[in-house]
Structure 1
Amino acid sequence: MVSYGKDFITAFPENTGYFYWYTSCSSLRITALHNDTNFTVHFNNKQTPSSVLQSGQTVLFPGTAKVYRLGSSSNSIRITSEKDIVVHSFSQTDIGEDTTPEKSVQSHVVQPIINLGKVYLIPRLNQSDLIQTFNGSLPPFWSQRYSSFKLIIINAEDTENNVTIFKSISGSVQEEKNKLSSYQLLQMQADASLIKVESSHKVAVILTHSCLEMTTSCKCNMIVNQILPTQFQGQNFVVPYIPGIIQSRLLMTSNDMSASLSHNNVQLQPSPSGFLSLSDQTESQYVKASGYVSLTLISPGLIFEVIPENMFAACYLLQFYSDISSTKKALVIAETGSKNNVHKQNIPVTNTQWTEITGTKYSSDESGCLVIPGQYEVQSEPLSWAESLAHCTSLQKQLACPTTEDIQMELANTINTTEEGWIGLRRSLMSTDWYWQRQTPSSTSLSPSSADYVHWADGHPQEILKGLCASLLLNQDDEFKWKSAKCCEKKRPVCYTPPIYLNP
């Protein structure tokens, strides 16, 4: 799962801060992964003129409408792009009239439509249980309508969508059916009775609270959590230690009623409200589920889903907010054996204090990255070796150079035909040594390098008069061995697109 894409849909939930009359602002932060990225924002059957971003550039699109009322509306916001982008939703309410007003702030990564689904399990949250769990008290004038969580369901497709809401009331499951037109949304009350959302087409589901009050001092936080669909459930989770969070609880959701959660082989026992506690909250913890589950970490003012181990990735784009805090940190969890390979941009992360997570292969650290991996492609027209080199370069690619065993294996896992193809290996007439010759789109000069790794077929390389260039047997049966051949022979070029890294 990756958080970049070309098509997104979201909405701006209500953010009241303390009271309605304070200044509130919302925005979408759109960041491009590639140069010359055209994107368009669609809202209420209208669209803004297309804008162009360069790699690593971020633009703010101001919020035009919040979802205040229950029921259906057209206040969804859709972002489409020709190239990959990342979208963050940001909301802030300034509270107070002095020179340093307090802020009710919330931001979250908007998931691309490719990550959305048709089935969502909803964390069964009851505000009064939640407040009492963290030793708070119900605020004055508390009411179910204006103080409970809300659920926003957004139709992510340009078609009518049948949405079914499942509730558990007095031990029986009740269904509530709704229809949403193209890109329409539905906002409804969300309490502990709400258990599941199913739809005929993809939807985005946002759990939100406009002003979750956890203390008696009339302070509250906006809560926004974009729920992930059931296809992203898992069994193994690293629950991160977050500095500044003194107390937290876990909430597990699953279709498997018998599923349980364990830590250090000890089963965690839920409270009457379903909350699970970890004994040590001063470091990251590894927990296992007996079935496929979703896991939500909850603390005063913070609710977010813990991603399972099967969703770990090697690349993240982080957006920091300079107007909120001068201290910017990210919590990184990496395999212990690879922690020294963690990079920020293209610079290794150093001078960090890693802490091994007990019983796992991971370490955590407070501290982006490969965007598109390299790709091999066998061209259709047979050419000479020199023509193949020029052809790959004209496509903004290079002639494949499997210079190590790992690269050779990567190439072998990508292609499989019954022919031969040219690779970027040739022989020196002067010394008779084999060397790699590359020509990349960013350079018009040839860059030779010695061939320290070879994968010759039996009987090869032949004597110099029988072949100055190297070809690749393009099938599994021949183990993708190399052969020496005359450079004027016609073979299919094996072109390689180098990986793209994000270097703003």
Structure 2
Amino acid sequence: MALQLLLLLLLTVSSECLTVGKKFVAVFPENIAFYHPSLPQNLLRVTALHDNTHVHVTNDLGLSLEGRDLQSGDSRTFKIDASLELSRTNLTHKVVSVQGDKPIAVEILSQKNKSIQTALLLPLEQLGKEYLVPPIPQILRTTMPQSNVTNEVTERSFFKLILVNGDEDNSITGPGGTDGGGGPISLKPRQVEQVWVEHSMVGTLVSGTARFLALFAHTCAVVLDCTCALLYTPLGPQNPNTSTFIVPSGLGQGHTFLLKASGGLKEEKLSSSGVKFEAPGPVVLQGPGRLLNLIPEEEFGSCFAVHTVADADNWAVVMAPTDSKDHVRMNNDPLTVSWTQVTATNYSWTNVPLTNRPNKTVFWHRSSLMAVWFLGQDAGAEFGNPAARLSETPDYRGCVVVPETLEVLDEQLSWQKSIQTCREKKMELISLKDLELQDHVYHKIQDLSIRDLNQTKLWMGLRRSSYSGRWYWISEEPLVHVDWAPGSPGSEDEGPCGQISFKDPKGPNWTHQDCCSEARPVCYRHPKLLKLD
């Protein structure tokens, strides 16, 4: 990828930044787009985590949108009427509401000719009440030189804050308004206000009485060859906590500028192997045609969905722990690529081409947390966003949307009573159907720090048939692997129920016991996994 001029803009944001939920609000900023007269194409892209998820897209202007039923792993595109695109109108109800009866992830795409922008939305419950006005990007012939900035010329106009209200009445102070009034902004549910951002406003606290979405946007910033295109990104809520940022060079190379909302400009070199730093808030990386939110290490996930844009070059940047990078999967396949170490970290990154792949690709990690971004390019202008984070629970079986549950009960019960008690808890007495699950469960039990574990007897769902004498799992899964201790399982007239024992210093194993003897049950519920193509 060609060297680029990049800007790092530090913004203060909450470390609690989940990207799945049940309610979202979205807007589509005005897109002048290369001065092209054609209508814009504005899309919502929704990913369902669970089967039988009903998604409803609505607005308060009476325009007919739609609802759909999605299954786990389904991604569907909703076309938004061009009349819902924002204009220079100060106050409007051009807000699109997206609601699922089960958790979903939502991304937006704005396209007009070669002007393309994508963004990942936060659910309503993760939006903030306070935001800081970010530094203004340095863009030649748009914001530079500063003396030439004027709202009389579109490509030389000010950046805008787009304030999108949620479901409650709101009073927002701090930014003034596009009419220059300067007082509090009163918003009804699902109203939007646009505010010009002057240099004097950088670092200003924008505060509301209820949650709202804040976007930072320019209608037509100069990109390449004297053409301009839409530029925007959602901002994150204020939080002063320091976060760790690891920037892979795959997100862009060349000279970088680190801008803090509290002031100051520091030029920095983003080397071919990346950079690591700490800052009180996430970072927006500015390149030709895009504002890209970085992912702080505290918000890494285990599973991400990436959507591509038709008729454009698409790729993903994946960053994972170096010692477990071979555990990354792309849909159902291992990710067989070359990796580059990020300087002074235990992370490595790679570029994954997606141009000839289907609309959605899922990246997941078997054992660790990682970060994934989507990037695209068309006619020299770039766009992109953090990939939708669907899970933060690594699992060797897939992309977890509901984590597994394992519980070692305190009661000493018979084998039969153990089955009943686990089922009362909506779980099953555990069946170790294969070696990988067995080792996984052994480590899980050891991580529970059970007192005197080497003396503790644990029931599992293994039983010998009194009819055939064969051992079987009560889950009815085939018995393809055994881990018997020396002397077990004994003859058919000995104990017909199986226990897990941690007594042997060489490692855990299985023993046979009388089913009426008492031990602690190991209750288990399998995780729910995202269905992959």
The TM-score normalised by the length of structure 1 is: 0.74
What are the within-5 Å matches in structure 2 for residues 10-49 of structure 1?
10-19=26-35, 21-44=37-60, 48-49=65-66
Task: Confirm whether residue 205 of structure 1 aligns to residue 199 of structure 2.
Answer: no
Aligned CA distance change for structure 1 residues 374 and 284 (closer, same or farther; 3 Å): same
Q: Which amino acid aligns with 2:57?
A: V
Aligned CA distance change for structure 1 residues 278 and 485 (closer, same or farther; 3 Å): same
SS in 2 for 1:338: helix
Aligned CA distance change for structure 1 residues 324 and 318 (closer, same or farther; 3 Å): same
Aligned CA distance change for structure 1 residues 7 and 472 (closer, same or farther; 3 Å): farther
Q: Give the whole-Å Cα distance in 2 for the aligned partners of 1:186 and 1:108.
A: 19
Q: Which amino acid aligns with 1:236?
A: T
Task: Confirm whether residue 294 of structure 1 aligns to residue 282 of structure 2.
Answer: yes
1:267 paired residue number:
none
Query: Aligned-residue CA RMSD in angstroms?
Result: 4.4
Task: Confirm whether residue 324 of structure 1 aligns to residue 324 of structure 2.
Answer: no
Q: Give the whole-Å Cα distance in 1 for the aligned partners of 2:448 and 2:311.
A: 46
Instruction: Say which of 123, 132, 145 aligns to 1:121.
Output: 132
Q: Give the whole-Å Cα distance in 1 for the aligned partners of 2:500 and 2:301.
A: 32
Q: Give the whole-Å Cα distance in 2 for the aligned partners of 1:10 and 1:415.
A: 46
Instruction: Say which of 77, 80, 83 aligns to 1:63.
Output: 80
Q: Give the whole-Å Cα distance in 1 for the aligned partners of 2:46 and 2:473.
A: 40
> Are 1:136 and 1:214, in contact at CA under 8 Å, matched by a contact in 2?
no
> Are 2:33 and 2:230, in contact at CA under 8 Å, matched by a contact in 1?
yes
Instruction: Say which of 309, 312, 317 aligns to 2:300.
Output: 312
Aligned CA distance change for structure 1 residues 58 and 219 (closer, same or farther; 3 Å): same
Q: Which amino acid aligns with 1:149?
A: F
Q: Give the whole-Å Cα distance in 2 for the aligned partners of 1:176 and 1:465.
A: 86
For structure 1, list consecutive stretches of 5 or more residues without a partner in the other structure.
95-102, 168-173, 258-269, 455-459, 474-479
Task: Confirm whether residue 161 of structure 1 aligns to residue 191 of structure 2.
Answer: no
2:248 paired residue number:
240
1:152 paired residue number:
162
Q: Give the whole-Å Cα distance in 2 for the aligned partners of 1:359 and 1:13.
A: 39
2:68 paired residue number:
51
Q: Give the whole-Å Cα distance in 2 for the aligned partners of 1:446 and 1:389.
A: 19
1:261 paired residue number:
none
For structure 2, list consecutive stretches of 5 or more residues without a partner in the other structure.
1-16, 353-362, 365-398, 451-455, 502-507
Instruction: Say which of 473, 487, 491 aligns to 2:515.
Output: 487
SS in 2 for 1:277: strand
Q: Give the whole-Å Cα distance in 1 for the aligned partners of 2:480 and 2:419.
A: 13
What are the within-5 Å matches in structure 2 for residues 296-375 of structure 1?
296-321=284-309, 323-325=310-312, 327-350=313-336, 352-367=337-352, 368-369=363-364, 370-372=399-401, 373-375=403-405
> Are 1:27 and 1:61, in contact at CA under 8 Å, matched by a contact in 2?
yes
Q: Give the whole-Å Cα distance in 1 for the aligned partners of 2:485 and 2:314.
A: 44
> Are 2:328 and 2:334, in contact at CA under 8 Å, matched by a contact in 1?
yes
> Are 1:31 and 1:86, in contact at CA under 8 Å, matched by a contact in 2?
yes
Deviations 1:282-323 (A, max 9, x none): 44222233xx233221223221222211111121111112x2
The TM-score normalised by the length of structure 2 is: 0.70
Instruction: Say which of 71, 79, 83 aligns to 2:98.
Output: 79
Q: How far did residue 193 of structure 1 move?
A: 2.7
SS in 1 for 2:306: coil
SS in 2 for 1:310: helix
Q: How far did residue 226 of structure 1 move?
A: 0.7
Structure 1 stretch displaced more, 136-145 or 47-56: 136-145
Structure 1 stretch displaced more, 279-288 or 398-407: 398-407
SS in 2 for 1:114: helix
Task: Confirm whether residue 187 of structure 1 aligns to residue 191 of structure 2.
Answer: no
Q: Which amino acid aligns with 1:10?
A: A
SS in 1 for 2:318: strand
Q: Give the whole-Å Cα distance in 1 for the aligned partners of 2:22 and 2:91.
A: 26
User: Of the two structures, which has the highest relative contact order with CA contacts closer than 8 Å and spacing of 6 or more?
Assistant: 2
1:89 paired residue number:
108
SS in 2 for 1:279: strand
Q: How far did residue 411 of structure 1 move?
A: 5.0
2:460 paired residue number:
424
Task: Confirm whether residue 108 of structure 1 aligns to residue 119 of structure 2.
Answer: yes
Identity %: 24
What are the within-5 Å matches in structure 2 for residues 247-262 of structure 1?
248-253=256-261
Aligned CA distance change for structure 1 residues 246 and 79 (closer, same or farther; 3 Å): same
Q: Give the whole-Å Cα distance in 2 for the aligned partners of 1:108 and 1:231.
A: 21
Instruction: Say which of 481, 484, 498 aligns to 1:449.
Output: 481
Q: Give the whole-Å Cα distance in 1 for the aligned partners of 2:211 and 2:32.
A: 29
Aligned CA distance change for structure 1 residues 422 and 243 (closer, same or farther; 3 Å): closer
Q: Give the whole-Å Cα distance in 2 for the aligned partners of 1:329 and 1:115.
A: 28
Q: How far did residue 150 of structure 1 move?
A: 1.0
1:376 paired residue number:
406
Deviations 1:375-401 (A, max 9, x none): 236899999746865997899964324
Q: How far did residue 127 of structure 1 move?
A: 6.1
Aligned CA distance change for structure 1 residues 27 and 394 (closer, same or farther; 3 Å): farther
What are the within-5 Å matches in structure 2 for residues 243-282 of structure 1?
248-253=256-261, 270=264, 274=265, 276-282=266-272
Deviations 1:314-372 (A, max 9, x none): 21111112x232x431011111101111110121101x121111111111111123232
> Are 1:425 and 1:435, in contact at CA under 8 Å, matched by a contact in 2?
no
> Are 2:472 and 2:478, in contact at CA under 8 Å, matched by a contact in 1?
no
2:527 paired residue number:
498
> Are 1:438 and 1:446, in contact at CA under 8 Å, matched by a contact in 2?
no
Q: Give the whole-Å Cα distance in 2 for the aligned partners of 1:9 and 1:232.
A: 25
Q: Which amino acid aligns with 1:407?
A: V
Q: How far did residue 222 of structure 1 move?
A: 1.0
> Are 1:422 and 1:472, in contact at CA under 8 Å, matched by a contact in 2?
yes
Q: Give the whole-Å Cα distance in 2 for the aligned partners of 1:88 and 1:239.
A: 23
